[in-house]
Amino acid sequence: MDQFKSKIVRKLPDLLMNDWKNIFLSELGESYFESMQEKLSTIMQTEDVYPPQDAIFQAFNLCSFADTQVVIIGQDPYHGKGQAHGLCFSVPLGIPLPPSLRNIKKELHLDLDVFLTSQDGDLSQWAKQGVLMLNSILTVSDSKPGSHADLGWQQLTSLSIEKISEEKENVVFLLWGNYAQNLAKNIDADKHLLLCSSHPSPLSANRGGWFGNKPFSKTNDYLLAHQKAAIHWL
């Protein structure tokens, strides 16, 4: 049976592997979370859902709360087969780069003044260095962008942003586009750096505000200024 059309074999809380599980402990028993899990299980009976079940919490599992020093916020996962693997904007090795990710790579080249020899779209190495690559909505149905916007994911992901803001200091939040910038209200700008720009999607990027905004070098300058390790973006 297709893994996406089977019932959820493991409960969603069991998919969290590190200190985020304790951060979310109170939420995992809430009625909205139980309802979300039931709705998601029902959807999986008839539709392909991305990312694969074991990757739903990949952003958290690859970047613990303790290690988080940068946050990139996306909206919902890629809705094409094989693209989503639990990290916003990222795709698995061997998958062609979606338009937004191509523009991220272009800005990376312009910002750091380096020639990118690889067109690899897997950004897992960023997550492993402390970059929380978080979609506000963690699942999506095949070819239906925004289809899981009413499941309740935003309550959980907003909590994660609030907890980072409240309990950590000197974190860089990369808020690309209006959707991400609407979450700025959950972040204490006196304790953290908020870098806002247009979204890297072609429609937004070509209007201006994306290319030349230098998010990668600005992030590293801030981290180094606060005695933190710079991110190796390449």
Which of the residues 14, 19, 76, 120 is marked catalytic? 76
Residue pair 72/131 in contact (Cβ under 8 Å)? The answer is: yes
219: left (phi over 0), alpha (psi -120 to 50) or beta: alpha
Cα–Cα nearest to 65, from 165, 184, 213, 140: 165
Residues facing residue 193 across a β-bridge: 172
**What pLDDT shows up at residue 183?**
93
Mean pLDDT of the chain: 92
Per-residue pLDDT band for 1 (boundaries 50, 70, 90) equals very low
Q: For strand 70-74 and strand 131-135, is the pairing parallel, antiparallel, or unpaired?
A: parallel
Average pLDDT value for residue range 128-151: 97
**21 phi and psi, to 5 degrees?**
-60, -40
- Whether 64 has a pLDDT exceeding 60, the answer reads yes
Q: How far is CA 64 from CA 117, 133, 184, in A?
A: 30, 11, 21
Order of strands across the sheet that contains 70-74: 131-135, 70-74, 172-176, 193-197
Per-residue pLDDT band for 6 (boundaries 50, 70, 90) equals very low
**What pLDDT shows up at residue 68?**
98
- Whether 27 has a pLDDT exceeding 60, the answer reads yes
Residues facing residue 82 across a β-bridge: none
Judge whether 54 counts as a catalytic residue. no
Q: Is this prediction's pTM over 0.85?
A: yes
Q: How far is the C-alpha of 113 from the C-alpha of 116, rounded, in Å?
A: 9
Give percent of the chain above pLDDT 70: 94
Q: How far is the C-alpha of 23 from the C-alpha of 168, rounded, in Å?
A: 13
- Condensed to tens digits (0 to 9), the pLDDT of residues 165-190 reads 999 999 999 999 999 999 999 999 99
Residue pair 187/172 in contact (Cβ under 8 Å)? The answer is: no
Q: For strand 49-50 and strand 140-141, is the pairing parallel, antiparallel, or unpaired?
A: antiparallel
Residues facing residue 197 across a β-bridge: 176
Q: Cα Rg for the chain, rounded, in angstroms?
A: 17
* E strands in the chain: 49-50, 70-74, 131-135, 140-141, 172-176, 193-197
